[in-house]
Structure 1
Amino acid sequence: MDELEGQLLAKVLALEKERVALSHSSHQQRQEVEKELDALQGRIAELEHGSSAYSPPDAFKISIPIRNNYMYARVRKALPELYAFTICMWLRSRSGGTGQGTPFSYSVPGQANEIVLLEAGHDPMELLINDKVAQLPLSLKDNGWHHICIAWTTRDGLWSAYQDGELQGSGENLAAWHPIKPHGILILGQEQDTLGGRFDATQAFVGDIAQFNLWDHALTPAQVLGIANCTGLLLGNVLPWEDKLVEAFGGATKAAFDVCKGRAKA
């Protein structure tokens, strides 16, 4: 993004010089240069402050209206073995201030808690990897949309947690040197006590989930910020948010929704 902004600034300077050179030229020529300058300066402002001009190719959300043990969505794509990952998503909790439940859980044979994001009761938000736990300084209690990203690498078990584009916390020794096992089941909205099932209503997520993407590497802080403020559009290289890959069950609904355009008024 810095490189693009530099190129745009160079173009602005060139056009400014051209505008001076055209000071004695026709009114129409000067107007054309002014128009291009305004457009470029507007683009620079978007890069600096964020813009909702970027729309995801598959714009939809999963909604779970009440806390229960039967509403959820399932991602119908098998994950490969992973030695690092970044998971990003937009969340709007409707829990009413109690525990936010489980936005997602990934289970594999022999390990129900391979990757889980969970907030139970009055406990902090937790990231579980291979049943090992790190507490995350994240908060979803205001009923608004928030962009959440979790990055982890098996090397030293390093992890980072972002909310709304800003790094909130990081740590190490979370399931260090453990590879994420492949061919599990990824569920949105419920915590799995067995592979693909035995949901617990007290750990269910209530609210909306959109743009759940997964990469096999750690995104840079600049990339996370770009997604959060809707100036950059990145789809997960392992798991992109695509309509055909996400199926809702039990009364959970899937509806068209562009989070970058709709989060302020939804």
Structure 2
Amino acid sequence: MKTLPILFVLLSGCFALTGQNVLLFPKESVTDYVILKPTVEQALKQLTVCVRSYSDLHREHSLFSLSTPGKGNAFLIYPVPPNKICISINSEDLYFNVDPDVLDWKKTCVAWDSETGLLQLWVNAKRYPRRVTTSRSPIGPQRSVILGQDQDSFGGGFEASQCFVGEMSDVNMWDYVLDTKTISNNYLYKSGNIFSWTNGTKEIKGGVIGLEKYCNSL
């Protein structure tokens, strides 16, 4: 009987960590991707993006790609395993040295402020040394937002060698810099006001598969 409370706690934790639908990107291709439809149309002076991902890729790949008609990489989250992440702002590439990848779910958050150029990266609630971009131009207002591929042109220009293969969930966008306390809480689910994973519009392309749910503790 003593094991029952422990089991109950474990199961309760499982339910608490259960996220929304998971997208499975099963293979290397230029046809598998997901289009997000943000609700805000004006140019973004600030931006925060968070995404959970699970992959055993050992090559560089695109998690989140936002392009505008004039810039393919207006905002790009681009891991370069085993221990770097490239963030592109208005086609300016900034590299962060991060802890080596482990085979587990990973929460990546990026925040940028055009007024100061301050660029911040968190991986699994750990903030890495901040950078400052030279670009201070707002992003948009016309935007193409794609998961799983790197846009070299507006809405296209994909390369299979840069695609994401694995699982993705809990992608949220805000038009402001999310506070450090919120981002540092690795298991706090907060819906984005530009795009919400819970009720935002997604358009699945190619062989991407939508899965029901997952639990971090399993």
Q: TM-score, normalised by structure 2?
A: 0.85
1:36 maps to none
Q: Distance in 2 between matches of 1:125 and 1:235?
A: 24
Distance 1:140 1:247 in 2: 32
Residues 93, 138 of structure 1: alpha-carbon distance in 2 compared, 3 angstrom cutoff: farther
Structure 1: gaps (5+ residues): 1-50
Aligned positions, number: 205
Cα distance in 1 between the residues matched to 2:99 and 2:206: 27
CA contact (8 A) 2:66 2:144 kept: yes
Superposed CA RMSD: 2.2
Alpha-carbon distance in 2 for matches of 1:60, 1:140 = 27
**Which residue is equivalent to 1:142?**
102
Q: Which runs of 5+ in 2 are unaligned?
A: 1-12
More helix by share: 1
Q: Distance in 1 between matches of 2:162 and 2:80?
A: 6
Alignment CA distance shift 1:123-1:138 (3 Å): closer
Letter of the 2:138 partner, please give it. P
Larger radius of gyration: 1
Contact 2:45–2:114 at 8 Å: present in 1 too?
yes
Q: 1:234 to 1:121 in 2, by over 3 A?
A: closer
Report 1:51-200 matches (<5 A). 54=16, 59-77=20-38, 79-80=40-41, 81-95=43-57, 97-99=58-60, 101-120=61-80, 124-138=84-98, 141-172=101-132, 174-200=133-159
1:10 matched residue in structure 2: none
Superposition deviation, residue 190 in structure 1? 0.1
> Deviation of residue 114 (structure 1)?
0.7
Residue 79 of structure 1: CA displacement? Answer: 4.2
Aligned sequence identity (%): 23
C-alpha distance in structure 1 between counterparts of 2:14 and 2:100, whole Å: 22
Q: 2:180 aligns with which of 221, 227, 247?
A: 221
Q: CA deviation at 1:94?
A: 2.6
Greater strand percent: which structure?
Answer: 2
Q: 4+ residue runs of structure 1 moved beyond 6 angstroms?
A: none
Distance 1:139 1:202 in 2: 23
Q: SS of the counterpart of 2:76?
A: strand
State the distance in 1 between where 2:28 and 2:102 align.
17
**Residue identity opposite 1:114 in structure 2:** A
Cα 1:203–1:63 change in 2 (3 A) is same
Task: Specify the code of the residue in structure 2 equivalent to 1:178.
Answer: S
Q: Which range is displaced more, 135-144 or 201-210?
A: 135-144
2:71 maps to a residue whose letter is Q
Alpha-carbon displacement from aligned partner over 1:3-56 (angstroms, at most 9, x marks no partner): xxxxxxxxxxxxxxxxxxxxxxxxxxxxxxxxxxxxxxxxxxxxxxxx656467
Change (3 A) 1:169 1:65: farther
Q: Label 1:206 to 1:221 Cα distance change in 2 as closer, same or farther (>3 A).
A: same
